Amino acid sequence: MASANVLHALYNDDDILMKAVKELRAKKYRIIEVYTPFPVHGLDKAMGLAPTRLAITSFIYGLIGLSVATLMMNFIMIEDWPRNIGGKPSFSYLQNMPAFVPIMFELTVFFAAHLMVITFYLRSKIWPFQKAANPDVRTTDDHFLIEVDAANHDLDALSKFLYDTGASEISLIHNEEHA
C-alpha cells in the first residue's frame, strides 16, 4: 500500500455513501477501497472503476471448450477408430456432426462457465483458508465503509470533510499495525 495512514469512514446508508464517494472524487481524494454488505448499484461508476473483462475471458474459454470437443470427437470417432455404430456415417467429422453437437455445446458452456468462475476467484483472491480482508465486521451486516488515503493530507481537514459527507464514525488506521 502506498501510504502509511488511512482513514476509515463508516456510513449507515448506501445513498449517503454514494454521495460521499462522489464528493471525495470531486475533491480528488484517493479512495483505496469501499466495503459494503450488498452490491450498491452504480457504485463502480461513481468510483470510476474500469469495466470488468470477465465476459471476454468467458468468450475465449468457450471457444477453447468448443475446440476441445471438436478435436476430441474427431480423433475418437473419426480418426482413431471409425466404427459403424448403428449405421452412423463416420467417414468425416461433418457427416456425423449432428451427433456431436450436444457434446460440443455442453463442453463450450462447461469451459466458459467454470474457467470464468476460477478466473474470478483468482482475480478477486478468493479461496478456502484465505484470511478475510474485512476491516470492520459491521460492514458485512448493515454498515458501509470508505477507506481513504490520508497521506499528504491534513488529517483534521479530511476528517472534517468526511464528517460533513455524513460519516457516522471516522477512525485513523496505521497500516503497520493494520497489516
Site for another protein contains 98 (CB under 8 A): yes
Instruction: List C-alpha distances in Å: 10 to 52, 154, 167.
Output: 27, 19, 5
Site for another protein contains 39 (CB under 8 A): no
Cα-only R_g, the chain? 26
Pick the closer one to another protein by CB: 64 or 99.
Answer: 99
Looking up cell 463502480, which residue turns up? 44
Q: How far is the CB of 98 from another protein (least distance, A)?
A: 5
Q: Any residues with CB less than 8 A from the CB of 92 and at least 6 apart, and which?
A: 78
Q: How far is the CB of 84 from another protein (least distance, A)?
A: 9
Instruction: List C-alpha distances in Å: 96 to 62, 71, 84, 99, 102.
Output: 22, 14, 11, 6, 12
What is the footprint of another protein within residues 58-77 (CB under 8 A)? Answer: 59
Q: Which of 1, 55, 85, 155 binds another protein (CB under 8 A)?
A: 55
Q: Which of 32, 64, 99, 103 binds another protein (CB under 8 A)?
A: 99
Q: How far is the CB of 165 from another protein (least distance, A)?
A: 25
Q: How far is the CB of 167 from another protein (least distance, A)?
A: 29
Instruction: List C-alpha distances in Å: 6 to 55, 61, 149, 162, 163.
Output: 33, 39, 5, 13, 15
Pick the closer one to another protein by CB: 108 or 165.
Answer: 108
Q: Which stretch binds another protein (CB under 8 A): 23-31, 70-78, 89-97, 110-118?
A: 89-97
Q: Which stretch binds another protein (CB under 8 A): 22-30, 95-103, 129-137, 143-151?
A: 95-103
- d(CA 113, CA 125) in angstroms, rounded, equals 18
Q: How far is the CB of 154 from another protein (least distance, A)?
A: 39
In 41-149, at which residue ranges do the beta strands (DSSP E only) sit?
144-149
Site for another protein contains 40 (CB under 8 A): no
Residue among 42, 38, 7, 6 nearest 142 (CA): 38
Pick the closer one to another protein by CB: 54 or 155.
Answer: 54
